Amino acid sequence: MKRVIFAIMIVLNLGISGCISQTIDEDGIAVPDNINATDDGELVIVTYDVYGLTEHMLANFENVSGYNITMTKLDDAGSVLDHLLQYKGAQVSDLAIGLDNTYLQTAIDNNVLWPHEVNLSGLSEIALAPYDGGLAAPFDHGYICLNYDSSVVDGTNYTVPTSLWDLTSSEWAGKVAIPSPESSSPGRIFMTATTDYFANDDDNTTEWTDWWTAMKNNDVIITSGWSEAYVTHYTGGYGVWEDDHIGDAHIVVSYCHSPGVEAWYGSNYTISTALDLPRASLHQVEYAAAVQGGNLAAARAFIEYLISEEVNLDMPIENSMYSVINGTDLPEENGYRYHSVVPTQPADVSPSEIASNMEAWLEMWNAAMVDA
């Protein structure tokens, strides 16, 4: 890493006292000259309910590394970003896990992360595609798209949609569940995809917000998060076994490999199918990032552990997501890979474009859904 020629001394409130020598790198980020200066033997992780962070996995890291882990679990990826911004400079956490490519650039722009300096050479090109810089490391990925219940969306009871506009017809009134982009990262990913979908369709008379307004008028089910949409409302997933299942949606926004997950746990049986419409899907990558002012040595050690083959190869099973290790794929067993779709033409929206437009997009989405 290139350094400028001067260093500064900053008093950090880290639970330890004194001055810590820091150097300003070429991106204007202050990094401690000695990463052990912030090492208090503790690792505070701020995250949401990431399934892959199992008790066994965390305990193994503690046993091997000697660090004591404290978990701060929030509602979703958006809450993780809000936490980082709210406590910027307060040093209440060391490592953030779960920011995705619709949130990461905002964290970078607000200077709340530290360079982790972990070697990412063993990771796949697709996992590094949205961001390959030194402020965050990908640990899982997948595509977001529409899923449908093939037991009823069979061409007889319901017609398989061939465009997003099909979902605005009376046939689909009240039968589509989408997590809100204001509170859900899959919902935000899907909304982002729709901006690209309608920017590249053949209809120059309508905007992406017109589709959302039409969906609102067609009684689309908007939920606060993915679980509510998929588990509570969707008829084609494992939610049918849950006590709070409503089952009023035959189409839902989820992962393109969600049918593969269903098949894995259902002994190669699933009624759920991913809908591969051009530009109606988007690649999601989730990241682990060292929090500026935190225990950098501990954060770095955990990132190395998280992307190691020992841990990351288990992501498809432990976290229901693709591993980021180069040359890997979903398991073939129980139809996991067979029932998982890789979109032929996902939406193409860069992280910088997302960061520049997200606030305006959310305002436009809200106006389309609430004020229209």
Domains, the chain: 3-140+285-318 (3.40.190.10), 143-283+331-371 (3.40.190.10)
Report pLDDT digits (tens) over 243-291.
999 999 999 999 999 999 999 999 999 999 999 999 999 999 999 999 9
**Residues in CB range of 82: below 8 A, 6 or more apart:** none
Q: Is the pLDDT confidence value at 5 over 70?
A: no
Distances (CA, A) of 318 to 156, 295, 312, 331: 37, 27, 9, 12
User: Where residue 9 falls among pLDDT bands split at 50, 70, 90?
Assistant: very low
CA 126/CA 128 separation, integer angstroms = 5
Q: Is the pLDDT confidence value at 75 over 90?
A: no
Q: Is the pLDDT confidence value at 20 over 60?
A: no
Nearest to 187 by CA among 119, 71, 282, 265: 282
Q: Which two tokens stand for residue 360?
A: 């305006």
Query: Alpha helices, DSSP H only, in the chain?
Result: 55-65, 77-86, 104-109, 125-128, 185-199, 208-217, 226-227, 258-265, 296-306, 309-312, 315-318, 351-366
User: Where residue 2 falls among pLDDT bands split at 50, 70, 90?
Assistant: very low
Report the pLDDT value the prediction gives residue 6, as an integer from 0 to 100. Answer: 27
User: Where residue 295 falls among pLDDT bands split at 50, 70, 90?
Assistant: very high
Note the pTM of the prediction, 2 decimals. Answer: 0.89
User: Where residue 25 falls among pLDDT bands split at 50, 70, 90?
Assistant: low
Q: Is the pLDDT confidence value at 213 over 80?
A: yes
Average pLDDT, the chain: 90
Distance spanning both ends of the chain, measured CA to CA? 50
Report the pLDDT value the prediction gives residue 304, as an integer from 0 to 100. Answer: 98
| Whether 150 contacts 331, CB under 8 Å | no
Report pLDDT digits (tens) over 35-72.
565 688 999 999 998 888 999 999 999 999 999 999 99
Q: Is the pLDDT confidence value at 15 over 80?
A: no
CA 238/CA 114 separation, integer angstroms = 39
**Measured CA angle at 287 (ends 284, 291), to 5 deg:** 145
Report the pLDDT value the prediction gives residue 26, as an integer from 0 to 100. Answer: 57
DSSP state of 123: B
Unique residue bearing structure tokens 């960061």:
355
Please tell me whether residue 57 adopts helix, strand or coil conformation: helix
* 180-194 average pLDDT score: 95
Q: Is the pLDDT confidence value at 302 over 90?
A: yes
| Whether 270 contacts 122, CB under 8 Å | no
